[in-house]
Each structure stands twice: as C-alpha cells, then as structure tokens.
Structure 1
Amino acid sequence: MNWEPIPFEELLIEISKGENDMKTELLNFWNKVKINPLKWSEHEYGDDGNGFWVVAKYKNFVLYYNDIEEGFNISEFENEGEIKEYYAEQDELYFAVLKLSKL
C-alpha cells in the first residue's frame, strides 16, 4: 500500500476546521479530551506511515486521524502508544468527537 502520512501542519488545519464546527457543549468536551497530536503505532495498516496521529484520549479510547482513509476514527487502546484496531471511517473531526462523547 502506497500512501503518504498527513504532514503535521495539515493535521492542525483539519483539527482547526473541526473545532470551528463545534458548538459550546461539544467544544468543552473536546477541550477536555484533546491532546497534542502524537503518532501511535497501529500494526495492521499503519506501519508504513509510522502509525497514525492520535488527537484525543477518553476513557480507554483514542481518537486518531487515519490518513489512508482521510478521516478521524475511534479505537480502544490497552497500551499507551498503541492503537488497538484499525477503522476506515472518513469522519470529520466534529462527528468523531460527537461519537466519542457518547461512549
């Protein structure tokens, strides 16, 4: 599989767009769970790009940007730094944060 990981600067633009779409209640939740983006490993498809950018943590879930599918996804995690499952959602940040808030 040939793909280029999203550059950090472009990821920040995607995050900013998503934040602009959030109303107060969701934005408050986002501000509590967001983290400085970090690359976490995911061994099913993520090895070629050195993992995926995790942008939020909530309970035992992470919200990450899947740059293969160009969308945000939620996965459980057991070990810090490792995304447990690959998902191919193409959610914008707003929708992914809304889903995360309901877990």
Structure 2
Amino acid sequence: MDWEPISETELWDKIISAEGRMSPQVLRLWESIKIPPEKWVEQTYGTVGGGFWVVAVIGGRVIWFNDIEDGFNCSSYIVAGKLSEYFCNQDELEIAVQNVLAIIETGRDSIARRSVPIPGEWQSR
C-alpha cells in the first residue's frame, strides 16, 4: 500500500470530530489559537507530502498534523511556514491542545515527544 498525504477534507473531518470531544476549557483555547489549515515546510520528512498541515499557532509553537504517523504534534517554529522540529506522536487533536493548555498553566510540556529512530547500535544495560 502506497502512502498518500491526507487531504484537507479528511483533515477537517479529524478536526470537527476532535472539537466534539474537547472539554469546554480546551475548546475555548482551541477557538483562540486555531487557524485555517495550511501546509508548512518540514525538511526531514515533510517534503514527500508537500509539507504538513498546521492547524493552530500560539506564540512560537504550532499544532500540526503528521499524516505519515497519523497524529497531531506541537512543535516550535522560528520562521512562519517552516516547522523547526519533527515529532511523530500519534495524538488526537484534543490531546495536543490540552498539552498547550498545560504548558500555559504550568510552564511544562506534559507530553513525551516521539522522534524518528536514531541510527546506531543499541546498547543493553
């Protein structure tokens, strides 16, 4: 089976479904940070699908959909239109927005970040 990038219509289906699962507090934050989906460049893995869909911006962070791994992520950026970090979390949108709320409230990221495998020899303890 060949991978195909997610269409904007399919992405909207995921967004609308997630909005229905958001708590009132998370939904209020979501309403204030969401943007119409737009493709942003990511140099490591994003070139295959023409970039990744960014769906929210807050400060120096964005929430974006990794359609290779089928999940939402929160990453930093320096230049608008270009993701600075690649993650492969498989979170639902409401989890990613909840994490942004946790960062605002506590100053700490509450989600462990999953990156791509790093080549090299695994060493047992």
Q: Could you tell me the TM-score, scaled by structure 2's length?
A: 0.79
1:9 deviates by 0.4
Aligned sequence identity (%): 43
Residue 3 of structure 1 deviates from its aligned partner by 2.5
Task: Determine which structure has the larger helix proportion and give its number.
Answer: 1
Partner SS for 1:47:
coil
Q: Which amino acid aligns with 1:9?
A: T
Q: Kindly provide the amino acid, as one letter, of the partner of residue 50 in structure 1.
A: G
Mapped pair 1:77 → 2:77: yes
Count of aligned residue pairs for this structure pair: 102
| Residue ranges of structure 2 left out of the alignment (5+ in a row) | 104-125
The reply on whether 1:11 has 2:4 as its aligned counterpart is: no
Structure 2 Cα separation of the partners of residues 78 and 102 of structure 1? 22
**Could you say what secondary structure the match of 2:36 adopts?**
strand
Q: TM-score, with normalisation over the residues of structure 1? A: 0.96
CA–CA distance in structure 1, aligned partners of residues 24 and 74 of structure 2: 22
Q: Which runs of 5+ in 1 are unaligned?
A: none
The SS at the match of 1:32 is helix
Paired residue for 2:23? 23
Q: Distance in 2 between matches of 1:3 and 1:46?
A: 13
Q: Corresponding residue for 2:91?
A: 91
The structure having more radius of gyration, on CA atoms, is 2
Give the superposition deviation at 1:29.
0.3
Deviation at 1:11, TM superposition (A): 0.1
The CA RMSD over aligned residues, in Å, is 0.8
